[in-house]
Structure 1
């Protein structure tokens, strides 16, 4: 018989950490596992590239819309309960995708799967409530590192399955991971002791959802519709109008989904900007390096002509470096101060990006230089939730981390569409292959995003944290 969850948040710290690492790994693995299989899915589902692109776009749009709402629900009604609901929906979405008979059914299943991004901010909120303060930086760094490492493993696993098995096994794996995570959450995650007051801000949620959909739809469809087309410009204008209206509505509400004062607080604003820049810089690599590796070498030497599996393996050292780097955030903070993990992470990211922009024609250069990028990524990913925990009160941890994940998602869409635009413009008039100059440009763009991130990082820390944000652990309750 399964034991009931304890109400003592400090009763089993190890069990909580293992559970959340498992849940986050399952989400992050499946976030990217379909990327290497898009060509295969286009053929087997007898669809077009434009429709198959929605396998990724639908997931990103759904994630951006649902994450802040689910994070707020966790703050209001308990993180454990909402985490269970999210995992149930995720497992159902995975099962639906495994059984999909056409592209429409698969896209619908991916929309349901988008709820799983909420696992990340909910995990950060659970850690902040359940762990002693001295273990919190390590735990947040570990969970954040798993987000990045899992995304890298997803590219490898997706490549292996694309080369040797049916694409349906991708989603069977996702469903199994969701069920295992669900069982672990029901056993090990404690019932929340801290919940926010007020109700669910449905008008704010509707405005946020509509505004994000308009902006992200414009970004995802810009390359195919044309960036100056009436539809794209109209969507951008509608998105700005809706998000502006959101700010007006939220200022007048006591139970606002978006705390405008918190959002515009300089340290918080910089933290969200850093997440956006990191998302953009990371996706330049996610899309560019596998494409480079799989392309047959042309006259300018661009490409290795590898399989999908080997292309994913070239990213593996960088992904493995994310986890120990994220775990080191607490130690670096205690020795050098809270500004250095984020700034140092962006500087390491910049160093790796510059090196690979200057030298990327040998496989060892990809392995070593992307390893440096991975170490920097781990520091950035571990620092962001810790900075948020130092800024917001305990009862808004899920919501604030949800907004931060939205920022990174928007950055990811921007990075992926900029990469697509550079690649399309560089291949115009060419018979085959992407020129080396396009890859070099994208590596430099990634370095530029990281440089800006490093420049703004010191402003993500206020001189003295508010009292409400400091009393964030079980010992202080």
Structure 2
């Protein structure tokens, strides 16, 4: 919950922060961009660190960083120090892959799918809770955004106590030296990629700065691959990175992150449009938009998470991903064709919530079934990054689309408002993202076997063998196990 809260906590209060600190829209946007960038850097580094040196101490360190950042954000009146606090809060994203690694170690095979689905489902709950809490804490004539960050401090403190008391220490660690060169080059690649994506609307998509950073990202990608193929004990094993199930699961994560954030941004903006001026929308406040239109999606996501875990065990993660994506296509088709009533938006959101939950339930199972035990943290960390990149792309695309065509002849003094057709186009594009997830699952995610690059001693444990249907169902389990034995014998 804390992971997703850090992503959306400030979205409803950006205008309050801008007003209180007397800064520009471009400057205050760094309050969200800073967390996105730091999360991209911290997540793979700390995920790998947890694999090497233990999940529990790494989780404790992550939560301490987040508490420090939240206290700083809650006490400062400087934009610079607020951004520094948000950078520290970005470390929270590493909690997700670390949590899945703990589950893989501690849960019995029969309960592993359900546990991962439940933990994944809380991502959607955290987003909704953050939106509602931020709206409630900043109500009134004199809103104070600092209260929102004190809430983050309190929840992180509770989580820290829970980890200290209830999370067991890792029974085994890989040890080894941290690949600092690989970490630095990966961090540079992610910053160079995400910075122009998140700021391109402000800078201009054709500006020298935006295009230059995209070119630099391509160059840095080549440098990172070269480094990871050259060093001993790389942070990211390139063979794991391009292993077919891992590669296509990350691609599915990219599309899922895009679709999920498109619904969040599109609906939040749509319902706040003043109907008397635009001819559409409901003139909702930020709080009403969060509680009435977005919260139902997050609630159904938590309820559907358990069903997603059951489906992963029954029909396999691959087909669970397909079923979820079909729900997503239906939800966005509904939004595209009929977003003129509150009932339509809420019911379509429920379908999308189910789709997101099923996707979150399926992807960790696909990853866990496809990588050796000692690479669980880094593999799930990279999957988290793929979703973050998808969310960043969605933010940039939807924002640009809404700004590209506005309503003419608005009264003097009224800011530019998007034409309704831009919302329709945004929802249609998000629906296509779910169509792509169906294609990825059916074509790209064929039956997975033990990774060919894993040594015999690192092949799937009995817990992972339970995830054999992750690629296709119970009928394929025997074939998967035969391939595992053949791979081990060959090694």
Q: Is 1:51 aligned with 2:50?
A: no
Structure 2 contact 318–366 (Cα < 8 Å) conserved: no
Corresponding residue for residue 437 of structure 2: 453
Structure 1 contact 302–435 (Cα < 8 Å) conserved: no
Distance 1:365 1:428, change over 3 A: closer
Structure 1 contact 389–469 (Cα < 8 Å) conserved: no
Moved more, 128-137 or 426-435: 426-435
Displacement of 1:414: 0.4
Distance 1:211 1:103, change over 3 A: same
Structure 1 contact 73–200 (Cα < 8 Å) conserved: yes
Matched position secondary structure for 2:174? coil
Q: Is 1:128 aligned with 2:112?
A: no
Separation in structure 1 between the aligned mates of residue 257 and residue 5 of structure 2, nearest angstrom = 16
Distance 1:306 1:438, change over 3 A: same
Q: Is 1:91 aligned with 2:67?
A: yes
Displacement of 1:277: 0.7
Q: Is 1:464 aligned with 2:442?
A: no
Q: Is 1:249 aligned with 2:232?
A: no
Displacement of 1:460: 2.8
Separation in structure 2 between the aligned mates of residue 475 and residue 332 of structure 1, nearest angstrom = 16
Moved more, 123-132 or 165-174: 165-174
Moved more, 190-199 or 262-271: 190-199
Structure 1 contact 281–450 (Cα < 8 Å) conserved: yes
Structure 1 contact 292–439 (Cα < 8 Å) conserved: yes
Corresponding residue for residue 385 of structure 1: 364
Note the 1:93-172 alignment, pairs <5 A. Answer: 93-164=69-140, 165-172=143-150
Displacement of 1:125: 0.4
Corresponding residue for residue 334 of structure 2: 355
Distance 1:338 1:282, change over 3 A: closer
Q: Where do 5+ consecutive residues of structure 2 fail to align?
A: 411-415, 467-491
Matched position secondary structure for 2:369? helix
Corresponding residue for residue 171 of structure 2: 193
Distance 1:93 1:463, change over 3 A: closer
Moved more, 148-157 or 66-75: 148-157
Corresponding residue for residue 203 of structure 1: 181
Separation in structure 2 between the aligned mates of residue 460 and residue 55 of structure 1, nearest angstrom = 37
Q: Among 343, 351, 364, which residue is 1:372 paired with?
A: 351
Displacement of 1:469: 5.0
Displacement of 1:461: 4.8
Structure 2 contact 450–460 (Cα < 8 Å) conserved: yes
Displacement of 1:430: 5.9
Note the 1:219-368 alignment, pairs <5 A. Answer: 219-298=197-276, 301-313=279-291, 314-368=293-347
Displacement of 1:348: 0.7
Q: Among 402, 413, 421, which residue is 1:437 paired with?
A: 421
Instruction: Give CA-to-partner distance per residue, 1:79-134, whole Å, 9 cap, x none.
Output: 00000000001001000000111211111110111000001110000111111111
Moved more, 353-362 or 148-157: 148-157
Instruction: Give CA-to-partner distance per residue, 1:12-63, whole Å, 9 cap, x none.
Output: xxxxxxxxxxxxx133223212111111111111111101111111100000
Q: CA RMSD in A?
A: 1.8
Q: Where do 5+ consecutive residues of structure 1 fail to align?
A: 1-24
Displacement of 1:464: 3.0
Q: Which has the higher contact order (CA 8 A, sep 6+)?
A: 1
Separation in structure 2 between the aligned mates of residue 363 and residue 428 of structure 1, nearest angstrom = 22
Displacement of 1:225: 1.5
Moved more, 414-423 or 246-255: 246-255
Matched position secondary structure for 2:235? coil
Question: TM-score if structure 1 supplies the norm length?
Answer: 0.91
Displacement of 1:298: 4.5
Separation in structure 2 between the aligned mates of residue 90 and residue 261 of structure 1, nearest angstrom = 32
Instruction: Give CA-to-partner distance per residue, 1:450-471, whole Å, 9 cap, x none.
Output: 1111111133353434574521
Q: Number of paired residues?
A: 452
Moved more, 148-157 or 43-52: 148-157
Structure 1 contact 130–474 (Cα < 8 Å) conserved: no
Structure 1 contact 301–361 (Cα < 8 Å) conserved: no
Separation in structure 2 between the aligned mates of residue 461 and residue 382 of structure 1, nearest angstrom = 18
Structure 1 contact 274–456 (Cα < 8 Å) conserved: yes
Q: Among 216, 231, 244, which residue is 2:194 paired with?
A: 216
Instruction: Give CA-to-partner distance per residue, 1:166-188, whole Å, 9 cap, x none.
Output: 21110000001111111111111
Moved more, 59-68 or 292-301: 292-301
Displacement of 1:428: 7.6
